[in-house]
Structure 1
Amino acid sequence: MRITREELVILSFPGPDRSIKMDALRQGKAVSRRYRNRRIGEFLKELELTEGRSTGIPKMLRVMASNGSPTPEFETDEDRTHYLVRLPVHPNADWQDLTADKSTGQVDRQVEATRGPSKAPVKAPVSEKIPQILRHLNQHGATGITELLELLELKNKRRLRENHLTPTIDQGYIEWTEPNSPNSPAQKYRLTAKGRELLKTL
């Protein structure tokens, strides 16, 4: 994986199965007729770590398009020895505060996206489930994860947290009612002032 100011590039080996046509892949319509690691795939589906319905690339195309980002690029060779994905950075992204923590060697990158001559902030992309969550929290107040599962017609609490709740907390749109006890049985989620502002634009 390589991250630059222009793009995020992911290279993996080997390439896509020959049953997958690159044109279909670029349109988000590719479905493999063969599986390299069927047993691993079945195991991951049992753990609910993968869906097995070929939804990843269509979701990638949809989210980047809704964010106003350039279309992802997919590359391979005739022998399908590798698979390269380029995710171009938003054309109006403005990289700021690129600092290194000398004590740990970690790099802290803060990216602020701007749009047009007015430099008005571009809102960060959010999960497709987030508008529904925000509206519910706005109407009903603090809500537990079990009720959110029922609302979104989902079954797995961990995936709900990882894919929808945690990223939204990180962006400041919702917050825990028990911030000092993340795993508390009484833990609920509530809307923040920033979340209310986002809700007005959705």
Structure 2
Amino acid sequence: MAIPVNIEKLVSGRIVESERIEYKKGWNPAAIYRTICAFANDFENIGGGYIIVGAEEENGRAKRPITGIPTEQLDAIQKEMIGYNNLIRPYYGPKIDIQTLDEQNLLVIWVPAGMDRPYEVPENIKAKDKKHQYYIRKYASTVRPGKVELEELFNLANRIPFDDRSNQQATIDDISPSLVREYLVTVESELLDEFDKVPLVEIYRSMDLLHGSDEMLFPKNIALMMFNFRPDKFFPYSRIEIVEFPKGLGDPTFYEKPAITGPIHIQIQKALEQLENIALKEQIYKRPDKAEELSVSGIGGDGSQ
């Protein structure tokens, strides 16, 4: 998968902060996987980071011209990574891309913040006796967290509810602008005044629908639940099914209503409308002291008012 940024701009530090980039002159899996683990844990919530293999660091930038990686090593490294990824607990697979700079090969390992953090990895991923450890980024270094930091890492992960987590299987384009506009109209938000004046990404940020770094933003689960016409594409079985038992639950006669799909808040609205139609009954009866028939609507259909 291609990285979402230009390699020249990346190594020059023009679009990504230096603490989010780690340079490695050569393939050193033990050190590299400790850093992968640290970026995936995203202790500071800065959006993960990048590991540039094939370039030395010089004053926080890539030393030019870069040394690169021999072409014949690239396939072997990628095959090794498949096995090493399985040693991260829980499983985590960074994204890799082969880029060319100064006519040399670079292996770019892109590590977005993981959804299942905290992660741990063997201290030396090539050692026979593998001892798993947690790692975080502190400034521009990969370190093992202290006791307080480790507790904070676990608490950080536990504090993120499902609907507030980023969904890395989706993109900003999966958010429907029309559904967002319709929602802002419904709630009478002042943000509607800015809708056609600023980029959509700014509207989405204001509504707290996005997560991630500037160069690669992901929609949160709540954004896909509410502002995508087919949320079941991302969350299977996200629909409402209503079954009516007209003679009571003990009777084998029942009717299945068509499944209600679409944005979650619209599903709830339609479900309430269906339930109201099922519960409200009309019954015509004669009162002893009145000659004319009366039509009375009530809950339950038993004639009570």
Q: What TM-score does the superposition give when structure 1 sets the normalisation length?
A: 0.29
Indicate the structure whose relative CO is greater, using CA pairs within 8 Å and at least 6 residues apart: 1
Q: What TM-score does the superposition give when structure 2 sets the normalisation length?
A: 0.21
Larger radius of gyration: 2
